[in-house]
Chains A and B, each alone.
Chain A
Amino acid sequence: MLWYVLRRLVYILPILFGVSLVCFSLLHLAPGDPMTAVMPEFGSEELIEQIKRSYGFDQPLPVQYFRWLLAVLSGDLGTSIVQDRPVWNELAPALVNTFQLAVFGVAISLVAGIGLGLLAGYTRRLVADRAITTTAIVGVSVPHYWVGLVLIAIFAVSLGWLPAMGKAPPSDAFGFDDVRYMILPAITLALIPTGIIARSVRATVIDVRKHEFVQTLHANGLPQRRIFLHVVKNASPTVLAIIGIQLGHLVGGSILVETVFAWPGTGYLLNNAIATRDLPLLQGTILVLATFFVLLNFLVDLAQPFLDPRMKRH
């Protein structure tokens, strides 16, 4: 088992290195200088040089990369150019907000996706299956940021039941008001994972039910309910993998939904970073989110053999 963990670790290290390279180059992809946004327009050559030097932009790129990497590894993500505050100070509260929303969203999509998927997997060739498959396709195709707008139009504007945007004002305890603000964005976020989870649960259930051991269980006279447990147990590794990846997508891909709902998370932060061309903030946020995504996949990989002993062999 330890061997397996080590091997997975060796596999993700180069990927993390690559991710850091991509994030580093984001700053230098931009036309002109990363500092263009904040340079004084009529500053003297000397002043501009001085600013560049203070940020280390006068060094050759490889040197800049290793300096940056060392700083990142020691927890320093750089300084936001526009806010002139450490990127981490901006990022930390946003991460908390994004996680709150993502966990809520994943919970919704788990219940809805697994429910729909099992229903479709068990009622194959029936109308229900057709309907659920179509729903899943629409769920995957729909522009989720637009669904957010539609939900606002219905539940906030027309019915006035729920707040349209933002986060509940800070209070001592996490209460009903916080949930009220989270319902619409969480449902919106849950939409795509629900479609994907439903689709793969359906496919996996159908696949597992074709196996001979299920027929044997039937032949042995096991009641449907018990066979169902066997099917669930065999389908769980695949479903777990998909859920892990979807959680990563929710955290990393929430930018559009957070922008629609003005939810003060990482997505909203990214949107502001783009609008103000605050490249260090953009870079730091993307680095943290991508690293989280890689580590999450790593954890899913580690968890798989526990659920499915067959995978231990390789």
Chain B
Amino acid sequence: MARRTTYVDETLTPQIAGGRTRIQRTYWQAARRRLVRDPVSMGCISILSLMVAAAIFAPWITPHDPYVTSIVNRLKPVGTPGYLLGTDELGRDMLTRLIYGGRISLLMGLLPIAVATLFGSVLGVVAGYFGGKTNMIIMRVADVFFAFPSVLLAVGLAGALGAGVVNVLISLSLVFIPPITRVAEAATTQIRTQDFVEAARATGASAPRIIIGHVMTNVSSPILTYASSLIGLSIVLASGLSFLGLGMSPPLADWGLMLNTLRQSIYLAPVNAVLPGVMILIASVCFNLLSDGLRTAMDVKP
């Protein structure tokens, strides 16, 4: 079934200049149809939607207050009546804090990717479209950032900037801009010599117009699928930075920070101590599986 739709997409997009919007809708529609029919992707979407909804509506659905401590109720095991997932080292309800923690942890994973996608695709498309010196400067700077292992760069930047949510956001965005730039540049270099771009140039269209109208629309699916594949890593890294004490400060709830503060109790309550990591794992696996599904649905070669 997928075969016919792709066939139509690939041949018609470049040729029918006037019907651009119509054909494009067909491509996105086809991609969406393929995605909806993939059970793994739909499963991931449901789980993630549940997590996001729970995080948004946390005050109304959580059984306890996330900040009220209780010395008597410290480190209750999972399954204690009234405390479904037990309590943490200060007697706060784990379930409540895990739900609240999703607010910051998910946001800290998603925001840097959004920022990096924006900057990375603009830089990459500009570099790829104009080529020459512009390309060289942008891509060589990106190469320098590539010379750092991602964890090291994130830790170095956040460590130098100092603890704080904004600093973590800045350093993670900086970590993800270069790889996205590289993908955008590669996609653009392929597109820019194609006939329909030449044709647009021949009709006298300005560079911004060609970039926005013709190049961006054609490179967006490789960029988006690639960016989506980074979300899982971003969530893991963001929580890792909080784990090192670079993100939120207590008593706020955040999965990485919870892992950090519960670490001292690992001998007393090992299950409670590793619970926040389960949330990070679920979120990260779902985003990665979803990204794989997205790539198949959008028919992008890895």
Contact A146-B274, Cβ < 8 Å, known A256-B244, A274-B244, A279-B160: yes
Interface bin, chain B: 35 or more
Residues of chain B with a CB closer than 8 A to A297's CB = 147
B101 CB-CB contact with A under 8 Å: no
Indicate if the CB atoms of A294 and B147 lie closer than 8 Å.
Answer: yes
A161 to B5, CA, bound (A): 57
Q: How far is the CB of A278 from chain B (nearest CB, A)?
A: 10
Residues of chain B with a CB closer than 8 A to A274's CB = 155, 159, 244-246
Interface bin, chain A: 35 or more
Indicate if the CB atoms of A146 and B281 lie closer than 8 Å.
Answer: yes
A19 to B143, CA, bound (A): 10
Q: Which of A23, A149, A255 contacts B274 (CB 8 A)?
A: A149
Residues of chain B with a CB closer than 8 A to A18's CB = 140-141, 143-144, 147
Residues of chain B with a CB closer than 8 A to A140's CB = 232, 288
A96 CB-CB contact with B under 8 Å: no
A140 to B162, CA, bound (A): 28
Residues 278-289 of B, flagged 1 when their CB comes within 8 A of A and 0 if not, give 001100110111
Indicate if the CB atoms of B147 and A141 lie closer than 8 Å.
Answer: no
Q: How far is the CB of A38 from chain B (nearest CB, A)?
A: 15
Residues of chain A with a CB closer than 8 A to B263's CB = 149, 260
Indicate if the CB atoms of B148 and A145 lie closer than 8 Å.
Answer: no
A271 to B150, CA, bound (A): 16
Indicate if the CB atoms of A30 and B161 lie closer than 8 Å.
Answer: yes
B145 CB-CB contact with A under 8 Å: yes
Interface residues of B in 224-277 (CB under 8 A from A): 232, 236, 239-240, 243-246, 259, 263, 266-267, 270-271, 273-274, 276-277
Which among B147, B277, B284, B285 has the greatest number of chain A C-beta atoms within 10 A? B147
Where chain A touches its partner, the secondary structure class is helix
Which among A27, A147, A255 has the greatest number of chain B C-beta atoms within 10 A? A255
Q: How far is the CB of A115 from chain B (nearest CB, A)?
A: 22
Indicate if the CB atoms of A143 and B239 lie closer than 8 Å.
Answer: yes
Residues 120-150 of A, flagged 1 when their CB comes within 8 A of B and 0 if not, give 0000000000000000011011110111011
A252 to B175, CA, bound (A): 14
Q: How far is the CB of A287 from chain B (nearest CB, A)?
A: 9
Among A1-9, A72-80, A151-159, A220-228, the one that faces the other chain is A151-159
Residues of chain A with a CB closer than 8 A to B144's CB = 15, 18-19, 21-22
Residues of chain A with a CB closer than 8 A to B292's CB = 137
Which among A23, A138, A153 has the greatest number of chain B C-beta atoms within 10 A? A153
B81 CB-CB contact with A under 8 Å: no
Identify the closest chain B residue to A154 (Cβ): B270
A270 CB-CB contact with B under 8 Å: yes
Q: Which of A137, A138, A143, A164 contacts B280 (CB 8 A)?
A: A143
B151 CB-CB contact with A under 8 Å: yes
Indicate if the CB atoms of A150 and B277 lie closer than 8 Å.
Answer: yes
Q: How far is the CB of B73 from chain A (nearest CB, A)?
A: 21
19 inter-chain pairs at a CB distance below 8 angstroms, sorted by A residue, are A18-B141, A21-B144, A31-B162, A137-B285, A137-B292, A143-B284, A149-B263, A149-B273, A153-B266, A164-B266, A249-B150, A252-B152, A253-B152, A255-B155, A255-B244, A256-B243, A270-B159, A275-B245, A293-B152
Closest 6 CB pairs of A and B: A146-B277, A18-B144, A252-B149, A153-B270, A253-B151, A274-B159
